[in-house]
Each structure stands twice: as structure tokens, then as C-alpha cells.
Amino acid sequence: MRKTYRGRYKPKNPHKYIGDITNIIYRSLWERKFMIFCDSTQSILKWASEEIIIPYFYSIDKKVHKYYVDFIMQLKENDGSLKTYMIEIKPYIQTIEPKKENVQKNI
């Protein structure tokens, strides 16, 4: 049986967090490690976890759903410019494009 890792993260630099600092939830150790990275990395000026919602229409059930982006962060680049990134934390296996035969079976 695979153990799941979930919990609440308490930032050491709460001024950097965008959103509700009392409700920062991680659903995997990878997400927790990324939170620590965002919180402790000096060039990351601001960050948030699941604070951005993207509505989308799902044609199968004909309803609007909400997609929560894992992370957003504002980073100061080496040249001084500011960049904003939206980041998804996924295991490698979920980043591999499915084989065409499997895609057709699911349609």
C-alpha cells in the first residue's frame, strides 16, 4: 500500500505568500518540497499554492468546472526583470503522452 503525504504548510516568510497563509495545503512530498523552495529562495518574491482558479467548459457533461493551478510564483531574474510562472507538480509518468491506441479507446 502506497502512503500518501498530505498536510498544511506554515511559511517561514509569510510576507511572500499570496493568499490565505492559514490554508496552505500540500498533497504530496513533492509539493511540500516545492513550497519550502519557494519560501526559502531569495529570488522568489511571491508565491501561492492553488490560489488561481481557471474555469473551463467540459463538453462531456456540459458543465463549467474549475481547475486549480498548483503554484504561481513571481521570480526576479538575473537581469533584474520580474517573471511570473504557473507550475504544475506531477510525477514523470503523468507527463508522458499517451499512446494513440489508448487515446482512441478512451474517446
Per the structure, the complete domain to which residue 74 belongs is given by: 7-106
**Residue 48 domain-assigned (yes or no):** yes
Total domains, the chain: 1
Q: Does 91 reside within a domain?
A: yes
The verdict on whether 50 is a catalytic residue reads no
Q: What is the pLDDT of residue 5?
A: 85
* Annotation says 77 is catalytic: no
Specify the pTM. Answer: 0.79
Question: What gap in Å lies between CA 45 and CA 91, rounded to an integer?
Answer: 26
Q: Is 79 annotated in the active site?
A: no
State pLDDT tens for residues 34-57. Answer: 999 999 999 999 999 999 999 999
Of 62, 90, 100, 101, catalytic: 90
Residues 74, 46 contacting (CB under 8 angstroms) = yes
